[in-house]
Amino acid sequence: MTESSSRAPLDGTPPSVLKYYAYKATKAVEFYRPIMYLFLLTQDLSFTQIAVLEATYNVTTVVGEIPTGYVGDRVGRRNSLLVGTAVISVTLVGIGLASSFPAFLVLYAVWSMGYNFRSGSEDAWLYDTLTDDISEDAFASVRGRGESVSLAVGAGAAVLGGYLGSVDLSYPWFVAAGVTAVGAVVLLTMDDTATYQDTDTDALGLRRVLGIVRSALAQRNVRALVVYYYVLYAAVTYLVFVFLQPVFETVVVDLGVPPSRVESLVGWFYAAYSLLGAVLSYHAGAIRERVGIRTWFVVLPFVVGGALLAMYFVPVLALPTFLFARGLADVTRSFAGQYVNDRIDTVGRATVLSAMAMVSGLAVVPFQLGSGVISDAVSPLYALAVAGGVLVVGSALVLAWEVPVVE
């Protein structure tokens, strides 16, 4: 991508891209993220039960990703996003009202299906929109700026969610449901792209879709990236998200912070990493040009894995490790999306991207279950150190087998 192409979205931004930014601003996840696991722990759930909930979420992702991606390819990416957003909004209300493990189990499965409808269709819609209105080379930049909008709004939402949680841990879920519902209104103003509408989706049978997925995964460097990023890196950084709150609480209380201030303080911490992620995501195009996707992916897993190992021996290192591991997550996801999108066609695009999410969802299940058991037996900090070791060793083995990214 040239310097001019990375700047193109800033000058005369098409209305379709502006609507995409508005939709990203309604993601609302930061309202409940600062208190999510504290909320579950106050419902008398153990770490193992929380791990089972997360595993249920990801098993549902595995079961539902390709079918929902297929729906997105057949009925339209906008319609798929609309269904997913409505399901998520209703589910968030249910979670805020739930109080038993079986209820959470059902809600987590439904919640996952809502995200299934959005996962592949969102990037597929954006990539085709840029093909129509700007250039597909702008994908990493525009997606990064969309994530920047989401994270910047999320920074304020995290602070508010932390304070709402200090009053009642269910309130952030209800506010998030309302903001998410606004996203459905934004989606109603959006259209599917000309690139998609010109595609013969009626001929897109399930057998052909599966053939497209197999063809994409058979590409030498794509299959290596699937193992390297969608299996190893994504699974380990997901655990960082899961255990951030209990580890953060332990570290700051040991540093002398009163337990009564933990909820509000964790909200500010989430705001800090959201702002860091917003800055990095906004400059995703510039990072791609100066650092290069290959260098980014080759170096990052070893830095993150090493930091997870180090913080077990020096717990206070958990604070900067969490800050940067989560702050880097979205720009890394943008780079992976750009790399895969560049190597697949419009036909079946949402299904292929959903297949990538499906692989990631399946891979994270043993990480979740194992980390839950280790956390109950030893501590969450020890579970993250084990995950960091797996990331370092696993990444080295993949690199010895095949370089996952070619510029």
Set out the domains of the chain in order of their start, with CATH numbers. 17-401 (1.20.1250.20)
Residue 344's CB is within 10 A of a number of other CB atoms, namely 21
What residues contact 148, with CB distance under 8 A and at least 6 apart? 277, 278, 279, 281, 282
What pLDDT, on the 0 to 100 scale, is given for residue 207?
A: 62
Query: How far from chain centre, in Å, is Cα 323?
Result: 16
What pLDDT, on the 0 to 100 scale, is given for residue 177?
A: 94
* The pair of three-digit structure tokens given for residue 407, joined into one six-digit string: 């510029």
What pLDDT, on the 0 to 100 scale, is given for residue 10?
A: 45
Q: Please give the C-alpha separations between residue 177 and each of 20, 30, 182, 245, in angstroms, as whole numbers.
A: 19, 12, 9, 22
Give the DSSP letter string of 258-302.
Answer: -GGGHHHHHHHHHHHHHHHHHHHHHTHHHHHHHT-HHHHHHHHHH
* The pair of three-digit structure tokens given for residue 167, joined into one six-digit string: 């009053």
What residues contact 123, with CB distance under 8 A and at least 6 apart? 143, 337, 341, 353
**Cα within 13 Å of Cα(39), Cβ side:** 27
What residues contact 404, with CB distance under 8 A and at least 6 apart? 221, 224, 225, 227, 228, 229, 297, 398
Residue spans of the chain under pLDDT 70: 1-12, 28, 65-75, 120, 132-137, 192-221, 344-351, 353-354, 361, 407
Burial state string for 122-157 with b = 16 or more CB within 10 A and e = fewer than 16:
bbbbbbbbbbbbbbbbbbbbbbbbbbbbbbbbbbeb
What residues contact 200, with CB distance under 8 A and at least 6 apart? 347
Alpha carbon distance 392, 78 (integer Å):
39
* The pair of three-digit structure tokens given for residue 301, joined into one six-digit string: 């897993």
* The pair of three-digit structure tokens given for residue 98, joined into one six-digit string: 């739930």
What pLDDT, on the 0 to 100 scale, is given for residue 176?
A: 93
CA dihedral for 306, 311, 314, 320, sign (positive or negative) = positive
Give the burial class of 63: count Cβ atoms within 10 A of its Cβ; 0-12 exposed, 13-18 middle, 19 or more buried: middle
Give the burial class of 117: count Cβ atoms within 10 A of its Cβ; 0-12 exposed, 13-18 middle, 19 or more buried: buried
Query: How far from chain centre, in Å, is Cα 375?
Result: 23
Q: How many residues does the chain have?
A: 407
What pLDDT, on the 0 to 100 scale, is given for residue 29?
A: 75
158: left (phi > 0), else alpha (psi -120 to 50), else beta? Answer: alpha
Alpha carbon distance 309, 168 (integer Å):
35
Q: Where are the alpha helices (DSSP H) in 219-261?
A: 220-225, 234-254
